[in-house]
């Protein structure tokens, strides 16, 4: 039988879909029966959603134009190996 | 590990030919995350922007050697993380991505009794949305700050795992760590962010 501590330790693996079928089913059973773990898993899912939002917000730069970008463009022009 | 897609090879080819649009696309896609990752390692935004710029210069100089054994994103982030670590080393700090997971307590142990049951029932997180304002900031902003206070290795894993262009194996390769080490770091990082959020939310329940 999985302890609450065991559930907490596997929470991230569960959220990431890394648990095998048997282990995932054991987790789901425990979560149905245990209010504390159900709450903890909800907390971890909310945390994961927001950390991912922060991490992926960092992905796209709305516009590339800044001084550093312009400097890099001149590098692109000067340094291109296949000039001509 | 995700190998390069035809799109990667094509982008790399255009970049090698000096194509501005190809460069702009890559820059927009990755520069912000690169600066953020570098900031976690060198601990200064200005220095991090220098490191990102140096990385782009290295990318432009070496793109002809990109052979597509990894994805283009993984190739770029690997150059960046090595450059950032060299820079930190020059400033007298060794940043290892292999630590920050094993030594630190994950903060969970004290939450359980000897039989592995909760000592205190975890709080019910009601209405936990990114936009909700608690203690003068949105919860998303609290999360952002919590991430910034993590050890570099944990920040790096969280940030890279959030990149759509990187598979988990790319994250390991970029940081030079094992899959197991990456999982431990990710676990610790998320638990630490959860703990901070829980503290923020507890304060507003008082
Ligand atoms: Zn439980």
Output the domain CATH number for residue B61.
1.10.1740.10
Of A54, A75, A81, nearest to B16 by CB-CB distance is A81
* CA–CA separation, B143 and B197 (whole Å): 7
Q: Would A82 be classed as within a structural domain?
A: no
Residues B116 and B200 in one domain: yes
Q: Would B102 be classed as within a structural domain?
A: no
- Total domains in chain B come to 2
Q: By residue range, what is the domain housing residue B152? A: 108-204
pLDDT at position A82 over 50: no
* CA–CA separation, B195 and B46 (whole Å): 30
- Total domains in chain A come to 1
Q: How far is CA A5 from CA A30, B30, B114, in A?
A: 11, 38, 10
Q: Would A49 be classed as within a structural domain?
A: yes
Contacts with B, A 48-67, CB within 8 Å: 48-56, 58-64
Q: Would B98 be classed as within a structural domain?
A: no
- pLDDT (tens digit per residue) in A35-49: 999 999 999 999 999
* CA–CA separation, B139 and B143 (whole Å): 6
Residues B84 and B25 in one domain: yes
Q: Would A83 be classed as within a structural domain?
A: no
Q: Tell me the backbone φ, ψ of residue B136, rounded to 5 degrees.
A: 80, 0
Residues B61 and B121 in one domain: no
Per-residue pLDDT tens digits of chain B, which is 206 residues long: 666 777 888 889 998 888 888 898 899 889 989 999 999 999 999 999 999 999 999 999 999 888 888 889 999 999 999 999 999 999 888 888 876 555 556 778 889 998 999 999 999 998 899 999 999 999 999 999 999 999 999 999 999 998 888 999 999 999 999 999 999 999 999 999 999 999 999 987 76
Q: Would A53 be classed as within a structural domain?
A: yes
Among B12, B25, B57, B190, most A C-beta atoms within 10 A, so best to mutate, is B190
**Are the Cβ atoms of B194 and A58 closer than 8 angstroms?**
no
Q: Would A19 be classed as within a structural domain?
A: yes
Q: By residue range, what is the domain housing residue A28? A: 4-77
pTM for this structure? Answer: 0.86
């Amino acid at each position: 039988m999985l302890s609450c501590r065991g559930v907490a330790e596997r929470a991230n693996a569960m959220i990431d879909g890394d648990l095998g079928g048997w282990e995932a089913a054991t987790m789901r059973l425990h979560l149905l029966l245990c209010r504390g773990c159900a709450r903890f898993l909800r907390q971890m899912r909310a945390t994961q959603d927001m950390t991912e939002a922060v991490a992926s917000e960092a992905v796209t730069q709305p516009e590339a134009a800044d001084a550093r970008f312009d400097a890099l463009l001149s590098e692109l022009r000067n340094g291109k190996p296949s000039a001509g | 590990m995700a190998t390069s897609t035809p799109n990667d090879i094509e982008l790399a080819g255009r970049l090698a030919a000096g194509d501005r649009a190809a460069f702009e696309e890559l820059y927009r896609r990755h520069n912000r995350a690169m600066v953020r990752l570098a900031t976690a390692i060198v601990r200064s935004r200005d220095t991090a922007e220098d490191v990102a710029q140096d990385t782009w210069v290295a990318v432009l100089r070496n793109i002809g050697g990109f052979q597509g054994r990894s994805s283009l994103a993984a190739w770029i982030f690997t150059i960046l993380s090595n450059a950032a670590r060299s820079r930190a080393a020059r400033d007298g700090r060794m940043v290892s991505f292999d630590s920050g997971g094993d030594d630190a307590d994950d903060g969970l142990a004290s939450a359980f009794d000897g039989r592995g049951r909760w000592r205190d029932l975890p709080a019910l997180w009601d209405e936990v949305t990114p936009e909700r304002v608690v203690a003068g900031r949105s919860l998303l902003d609290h999360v952002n700050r919590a991430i910034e206070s993590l050890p570099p290795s944990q920040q790096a894993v969280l940030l890279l795992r959030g990149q759509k262009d990187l598979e988990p194996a790319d994250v390991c390769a970029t940081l030079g760590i094992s899959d197991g080490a990456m999982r431990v770091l990710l676990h610790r990082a998320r638990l630490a962010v959860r703990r901070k959020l829980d503290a923020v939310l507890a304060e507003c329940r008082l």
